Amino acid sequence: MKLLRYGPAGQEKPGILAPDGTIRDLSKVVPDLSGKFLSPDSLKAIAQLDLNGLPVVEGNPRFGSCVVQPGKFLCIGLNYSDHAAESGMAVPAEPVLFMKAGSSISGPDDNIVIPRGSLKTDWEVELGVVIGTTAKYVSEEDALSHVAGYCLINDVSERAFQLEGTGQWVKGKSADTFGPTGPWLVTTDEVPDPQALDMWLEVDGHRYQDGNTRTMVFGVKFLISYLSRFMSLQPGDIISTGTPPGVGLGQKPPVYLRAGNKIRLGIGGLGEQNQLVVADPGEKS
């Protein structure tokens, strides 16, 4: 299934993409796509619905993030060896963990706002893993049974905020609009192998990133098991699993986003995102 949230920001309703390409409203079935409604029983009930009996959503509505208010937005840094190399950093011996603020989450096609004072806003196409059942001290063998589905994420980053000065990754990753998520939450039955997904990103039509999840240093199973050793993973939590090479920081010379840039990115089977980059309305030109 491809589950989604549609409507104006802050007023999204849950929906599902039907086989005929129409969006069907789910608001009379579940109130929203939050953690408690991503359990196996809930997803099974949705899968058994007769979609022809659900209301068709007319027009071309805005998509919101495919998951609402995750308790944790966990991210893995330097999880592709060639990306670590282009960043001038060693391949880590164990996963590099940081978090993005929940307030960074936005719809897949919403504008990306460059923060005030930013000169080094960058892009990162990533596979998102959405937890469906609580995971604590789980084995790699059992890890994927705790997944509700997968989604596309652009882990937008401000490199100066992230790496210079005090080098706080969280503050370089957490600006409003820095977490476009969706368009869909694709359930696990449609993603038999999360380590075999093509992924790409373009800026103004130029393809900068072109990779595949098979080249992760630490795969999805390992990441879930590893993270569950340090904290319980709760339904609705998102894990963004790292980016392949081709980010702006790694270009020679580096290339960073400017107002007016158009970003397009996708992962096979998980949909596409399209974003316009804009300046913060309070930024002086």
Which amino acid appears at position 18 of this protein? A
State mean pLDDT over 247-251.
Answer: 94
What the chain holds in terms of domains, given with CATH numbers, is 2-53 (no CATH), 73-279 (3.90.850.10)
pLDDT of residue 285: 57
* Strand blocks (E) in the chain: 2-6, 13-17, 23-25, 73-77, 96-99, 105-106, 112-114, 121-122, 125-131, 147-154, 157-158, 179-180, 185-187, 198-203, 206-212, 238-240, 262-267, 271-279
Using an 8 Å Cβ cutoff, are 31 and 25 in contact? Answer: no
Strand partners, 14: 5
CA 73 – CA 228 distance, rounded (Å) = 14
Is the pLDDT score of 196 beyond 60?
Answer: yes
User: Which residues does 51 contact at the CB level (< 8 Å), separation at least 6?
Assistant: 16, 18, 19, 24
pLDDT > 70 in the chain, percent: 100
Is the pLDDT score of 61 beyond 90?
Answer: yes
14-45 residue pLDDT tens: 999 999 999 999 999 999 999 999 999 999 99
pLDDT of residue 86: 79
Is the pLDDT score of 87 beyond 90?
Answer: no
Q: How confident is the model at residue 79 (pLDDT cuts 50, 70, 90)?
A: very high
User: 3-class DSSP state for residue 29?
Assistant: coil
pTM for the predicted model, two decimal places? 0.96
User: 3-class DSSP state for residue 135?
Assistant: strand
Backbone angles phi, psi at 141, to 5 degrees: -65, -30
CA 145 – CA 225 distance, rounded (Å) = 11
Strand partners, 127: 152
State mean pLDDT over 64-77.
Answer: 96
Question: Taking CA 258 as the corner, what is the angle to CA 253 and CA 263, rounded to the nearest 5 degrees?
Answer: 95
